[in-house]
Amino acid sequence: MENNIPTEEEIKAKLTPEQYHVLREKGTEAPFTGTYVHEKTNGTYNCMVCANPLFTSDTKFDSGTGWPSFDKAIEGSVLTVSDMSAGMERTEVVCGRCDSHLGHVFDDGPTETGKRYCLNSVCLDLEAK
């Protein structure tokens, strides 16, 4: 494990099949099924693969979409990539440390940032304050 990034074999052994599918194969969990959709606990949401701090609870909001949504990432924690899959143009959000798929970001957020980071709960590990 170099720089806290596990090998692909370590990742596969650590994650559930659903987590592996979403994080490493760019899948999506079903809406309204994720652990963190309605979570209100204060803390930091970390990458499930490498524990990189990604989002803080004070940037989380209820978007009504069925996935945990945030209006701002921790600076330098995520990268965005053009995603032309599923017959549409979207912006994928990946972990800035291990390149794991987290979800997508849209420019329709209700806060001053205008962003809605729509993430899969299975990609996140909440570290409560």
Which residues are the active-site residues? 118
According to DSSP, the β-strands at 90-95 and 78-83 are antiparallel
34 SS3 class: coil
**In terms of DSSP bridges, do strands 78-83 and 69-70 run parallel, antiparallel, or are they unpaired?**
unpaired
Q: Are strands 124-128 and 53-56 parallel, antiparallel or unpaired?
A: unpaired
Under DSSP, is residue 109 helix (H, G, I), strand (E, B) or coil? Answer: coil
Report d(CA 81, CA 18) in Å as an integer.
Answer: 22
- C-alpha dist (Å) from residue 96 to 2, 16, 75, 102, 116: 15, 22, 10, 10, 18
